[in-house]
Amino acid sequence: MNWYASFAIYFLMWVVCAFVMLPLGLRTPDETGEPLLKGQAESAPSNFRPGLVVMRATILSAVLFGLYYANYVQGWVTVDMLPGYHAGS
């Protein structure tokens, strides 16, 4: 696998992981007891920390990419092992 493909796969995994991590740990002003600001939606988070989201997404995507790459090199699970899929037919 060339490094362009590796980078593209890692980047796609990172974006998906970032979207998965976005809602974790967020609390609304109603939950924190803070007053709503003028024009603020009731569902808007009051404790959003983008750095934490980036860090979590980076760690999770690195682990998942490591597993993907190890499977690519070792061949633990191949397309031929998937039920209902027959290569070449």
In a domain, 89, yes or no: no
Band (pLDDT 50/70/90 cuts) for residue 71 is very high
In a domain, 86, yes or no: no
10-49 residue pLDDT tens: 999 999 999 999 999 999 998 999 999 899 898 899 889 9
In a domain, 40, yes or no: yes
CA 14 to chain centre: 5
Is the predicted pLDDT of residue 89 greater than 60, yes or no? Answer: no
Q: Is the pTM of this model over 0.75?
A: yes
In a domain, 88, yes or no: no
Please list, in sequence order, all residues whose beta carbon lies within 8 angstroms of the beta carbon of residue 60, skipping any fewer than 6 positions away. 17, 20, 21
Q: Into how many domains does the chain fold?
A: 1
In a domain, 18, yes or no: yes
pLDDT for 63 equals 98
